[in-house]
Structure 1
Amino acid sequence: MLACARIGAAHSVVFGGFSADALATRIQDADAKVVITSDGGYRRGKPSALKPAVDEAVARVDDVRHVLVVRRTGQEVAWTEGRDVWWHEVVDRQPAEHTPEAFDAEHPLFILYTSGTTGKPKGILHTSGGYLTQTAYTHHAVFDLKPETDVYWCTADVGWVTGHSYIVYGPLANGATQVMYEGTPDTPHQGRFWEIVQKYGVSILYTAPTAIRTFMKWGDEIPAKFDLSSLRVLGSVGEPINPEAWIWYRKNIGADTTPVVDTWWQTETGAMMISPLPGVTAAKPGSAQTPLPGISATVVDDEANEVPNGGGGYLVLTEPWPSMLRTIWGDDQRFIDTYWSRFEGKYFAGDGAKKDDDGDIWLLGRVDDVMLVSGHNISTTEVESALVSHPSVAEAAVVGATDETTGQAIVAFVILRGTAAESEDLAGELRNHVGATLGPIAKPKRVLPVAELPKTRSGKIMRRLLRDVAENRQLGDVTTLTDSTVMDLIQAKLPSAPSED
């Protein structure tokens, strides 16, 4: 990535778990000339092949001149003479010195594809100057970075924007010492993350709510076995964090003393936009709180009027920011339609939000994750947080399914904590728990205990697929799921689930 930036070649990093299909559409859309891959990578201690998907993808496109292959696992690979080149053979014979060239601040730095709710993935274009400015500044300010003494660890994959901004560009620009980990949190054992924190004296940890909820499910005793006293700032990224998970994270990982920074931003924004500042902001579990200095964000209603404190609506950005996306690669019209058409002169992120009585911002998830039940807007995030606050529930995903009576009915899929048993009474108990927490209107109509939830490879719950199941529809695209068999299990289970009727 850094070598590409140095010679002014835009890079487009694709997550290693993607299929040949997904890879081919991205190569084609970006009109890529060179693909860099390796023979394989390691997952759960075993080599997993990468090049076969590349070979299949490149066979479907016209303009790729070379495939540069890093030898990593030493496994057998198919070889296309004239096109495929071994990294070590080319790189080893280059001079050690390279004179960098200067590029304009608006020179394209990278294209990163993000899934569109409809249609093909969108190639988000970021440029050099503004992007680097904001990733470096936010990484320094939000984590209170002390480059001389901190050991920083962001657990994201480099193939997602969090990895680009907070593993590669921000931390390296700031001279941070950091941990990079290839592997899963449960290999060779479920304490793997905490073992790494203890071993390297990690002082700043940046991870995702989906990981935190998984650790909750595994039990408090696992992190308790390790010395986590080096940690001084904890961060959360990827989706709104439920208060219950926030409190668990601070208590079990942060010894009830560390600040937790819940950061809101997107592939499109390039860098953090809304976040508490450690030691500055009085924390509120579950809230991203305030726009960072220089960022103008607010919540508006359907008519684009700013809502008063206590009101809810749509999150918008009202002034430009340095690391903003410049367009959707090759599709300026889609860029305008997607982000700028809903509210004139404002960037609409696609997220619902509310302001509390102090004017702090609480994210409510994607607008298509807001359910309309009997005329009430109910956020899936709030119902999920209510479910997770019950001692039997480790993780929850909630969708609105079409309902003749109420418009939408709330259907909840829950993963139970290790010790909880599935029983006839549990569904009723969970329904009442949500009713007591949020009010009777928010009670799920159906509650289904499941073993796993369908997640994308970046850990986001695919509520769209759960909606398909809840409405007995043919499943949509499952190519970005980590494990598509999860859906078969859920579908098989659905008919037997008791409904409150």
Structure 2
Amino acid sequence: MPDAPTKHARIRTLEDYHDAYRRSLENPEQFWAEVAEPFTWRRKWDRVLDSDMAAGKNEWFGGARLNITENCLDRHLANRGNKLAIIYEPNDPKTRHVRLTYRELHQEVCKFANVLHNNGVEKGDRVCLYMPMIPQLAIAVLACARIGAIHSVIFAGFSANAIADRVNDAQASVVLTADGLNRGAKQIPVKRVVDEALETCPTVRRVIVVEHLGWPVHMKEGRDVWYHEEAADVEKTCPAEEMDAEDPLFILYTSGSTGKPKGVVHSTAGYMVWTDYTFRNVFQIEENDVYWCTADIGWVTGHTYLLYGPLLAGATTLMFEGVPTFPSPGRFWEVIDKHSVTVFYTAPTAIRSLMASPLDHVWAYSLDSLRVLGSVGEPINEEAWHWYNDHIGKRRCPIVDTWWQTETGGVMISAMAGITPSVPARAGLPMPGVQPVLLNQDGSEIEGNGQEGYLAIKHSWPGIIRTTYGDHERARQTYFAPYPGYYFTGDGARRDEQGLYRIIGRVDDVINVSGHRFGTAEIENAINENDYVVESAVVGYPHDVKGQGIYAYVILKNGVPEQEPERQRIEASIIETIVAEIGRIAKPDKIQLVSGLPKTRSGKIMRRILRKVAEGDTANLGDTTTLLDPQVVDEIISGKK
């Protein structure tokens, strides 16, 4: 692309990759200084990197001053002002789509930034967003960054309680929302959910509401305002706030093993450089690409590869309000043909759900515009990989199976489209600057290929998590203390004979459901709020569509009812409690009512046994004689769903 950075920024051949990777290890500071050079900086850095991995302290481009929106928008205006920046495809295919050029997007971001200013938002303030996947969400995120406010997007499917937890942890002063949202055949009153959440959020003094569905909503006097009324007379220009390289850009909450969501913090400069670099190279982006990431902006994939990455690179990004199966299982393929999408990035869960539909829904569309396919959220299984390759890519589109996390900011291990090896069920090779290692339990590195162990990263990279909001010790303990000197991913991995990495799942108490992580403690805490429940244990198990399903073992205060209708009523009550506490996305796939749980004599629940029962692997439970009550295992096996 015309403004692509130096030779290190674009990898075009396998030789380029090996050269860039070698340079990134030999002299990381020089490598990343050259990659960062072409961005718009108010002031260049004093030092590229200051890192203490054991303490979880990492600073990139220290002393530099910038604003990320000048790099997403302003620097493109001269040469790309009339180029499409965002294409918005609504939930209902009969509703007209929206196209915004870079110049139009710049103006809309400035207007929204001025509305925020006029409502008292200042640099460093936290702003929470609970909004539909509409252009105003993308605009609002960029508007926050424009004025130096820290944005925290909450997926518009979480419950009022989950919103309140996040708003209170961030101590947000302003919430941005809408009257309602469309999601497939459902319509959700998001403003009403926000109102319920804010009953326990004393720091919020303003709610700005975007009109989307035209629904009448309750507006609290003195707190709530309509965006369109506030924006009626504001200027279309707004100076970008000068930010320090390490000023926080956003907080994004991810589930933790303690039950309390973690506010992952990413900084401005490092995240910007990493996002741009990985986006350009993984997808091999070209000037005329129409790129579509199907993720919601409420997740990190939406932050990095729907919004910031494409706009930093001057690309055209498509934003979709709907779901893959509405109004038919051909909706994805219809949208690809309609907008001539060239690069398509989605989740294995979506692919597996569409595999279950007749191929007529695919064959009705040409898909000739596609040249690159991507997968994100969890490892894609071989069957789904081949279906994706054969029927969507027509065996001519390279597939990039990307591995990364909220905490890494962007892709860490992946094929680069058409450049590095793409093998089913393998993430592939590490990005330049990423030094993955396999560790055994005592923290020793496992050398050589054909090996398996705990996946860790042993050197800082620009997109690395900076902290967890308001509690750096939690970040240190979670990511850096388990193996001092390394970032611990929480995943197990295998390095095959070719040196390609295969991710083999979580090794901590976290379940990956459709690419979204939930701590088992978080779900258990919600279940235990139910009046019928005395204790619960939650594990993940293989699920054909979601990758992992949620299996809950629940002990009731009054024992397991004998009558099936009564059991069903209690299970429905438990599900209602989970939906109220977290959201429908965390609803267990299976609930088994039990009289006891397998515990050691010290009271520790043996989740290993519960996982094997959930997986149906009861022939290999190991020694159960050390349990406090070994007979409870037989009872659980006989009652398995």
Q: Which amino acid aligns with 2:320?
A: Y
Structure 2 residue 145 is matched with structure 1 residue 5: yes
Residue number in structure 2 paired with 1:468:
553
Structure 2 residue 434 is matched with structure 1 residue 295: yes
Residue number in structure 1 paired with 2:172:
32
Q: Which amino acid aligns with 2:147?
A: I
Structure 2 residue 565 is matched with structure 1 residue 478: no
Q: Percent identity?
A: 46
Residue number in structure 2 paired with 1:278:
417
Kindly provide the CA deviation profile for residues 187-230 of structure 1, in whole angstroms up to 9, marking residues without a partner as x: 11110000001111111000001111111111333212211111
Residue number in structure 2 paired with 1:429:
none
TM-score by length of 2: 0.61
Query: How far apart, in 2, do the equivalents of 1:182 and 1:171 lie?
Result: 18
CA contact under 8 A between 1:208 and 1:236: conserved in structure 2? yes
2:328 to 163, 185, 189: 189
SS in 2 for 1:255: coil
SS in 2 for 1:78: coil
CA contact under 8 A between 1:111 and 1:123: conserved in structure 2? yes
Check 1:184–1:469 CA distance in 2 against 1; reply closer, same or farther (3 A cut): farther
Residue number in structure 2 paired with 1:328:
468
SS in 1 for 2:400: strand
TM-fit CA distance, 1:478:
3.3
Query: How far apart, in 2, do the equivalents of 1:184 and 1:157 lie?
Result: 10
Query: How far apart, in 1, do the equivalents of 2:354 and 2:185 lie?
Result: 21
Check 1:29–1:78 CA distance in 2 against 1; reply closer, same or farther (3 A cut): same
| Number of corresponding residues | 419
Query: How far apart, in 2, do the equivalents of 1:411 and 1:103 lie?
Result: 42
- Give the unaligned 5+ runs of structure 1: 371-379, 382-398, 400-409, 416-452, 454-458
Query: How far apart, in 2, do the equivalents of 1:482 and 1:85 lie?
Result: 29
Structure scoring higher RCO (CA < 8 A, sep ≥ 6) equals 2
Query: How far apart, in 2, do the equivalents of 1:119 and 1:94 lie?
Result: 43
CA contact under 8 A between 2:551 and 2:590: conserved in structure 1? no
Q: How does 1:70-469 map to 2 (within 5 A)?
A: 70-147=210-287, 149-307=288-446, 308-368=448-508, 461-462=548-549, 465-466=550-551, 468=553
SS in 2 for 1:271: coil
CA contact under 8 A between 2:304 and 2:409: conserved in structure 1? yes
Q: Which amino acid aligns with 2:294?
A: T
Check 1:4–1:300 CA distance in 2 against 1; reply closer, same or farther (3 A cut): same
TM-fit CA distance, 1:460:
6.5
TM-fit CA distance, 1:48:
2.1
TM-score by length of 1: 0.78
Residue number in structure 1 paired with 2:19:
none
CA contact under 8 A between 2:340 and 2:369: conserved in structure 1? yes
Residue number in structure 2 paired with 1:54:
194
Check 1:209–1:136 CA distance in 2 against 1; reply closer, same or farther (3 A cut): same
Check 1:306–1:124 CA distance in 2 against 1; reply closer, same or farther (3 A cut): same
CA contact under 8 A between 1:238 and 1:460: conserved in structure 2? no
Query: How far apart, in 2, do the equivalents of 1:227 and 1:177 lie?
Result: 21
Kindly provide the CA deviation profile for residues 279-305 of structure 1, in whole angstroms up to 9, marking residues without a partner as x: 221221110111111211121111222
Check 1:498–1:5 CA distance in 2 against 1; reply closer, same or farther (3 A cut): closer
Query: How far apart, in 1, do the equivalents of 2:618 and 2:437 lie?
Result: 39
More off after superposition, 154-163 vs 111-120: 111-120
Kindly provide the CA deviation profile for residues 29-50 of structure 1, in whole angstroms up to 9, marking residues without a partner as x: 0000000001111122554211
TM-fit CA distance, 1:76:
1.5
Query: How far apart, in 2, do the equivalents of 1:277 and 1:320 lie?
Result: 21
Residue number in structure 1 paired with 2:604:
none
TM-fit CA distance, 1:330:
0.5
SS in 1 for 2:177: strand
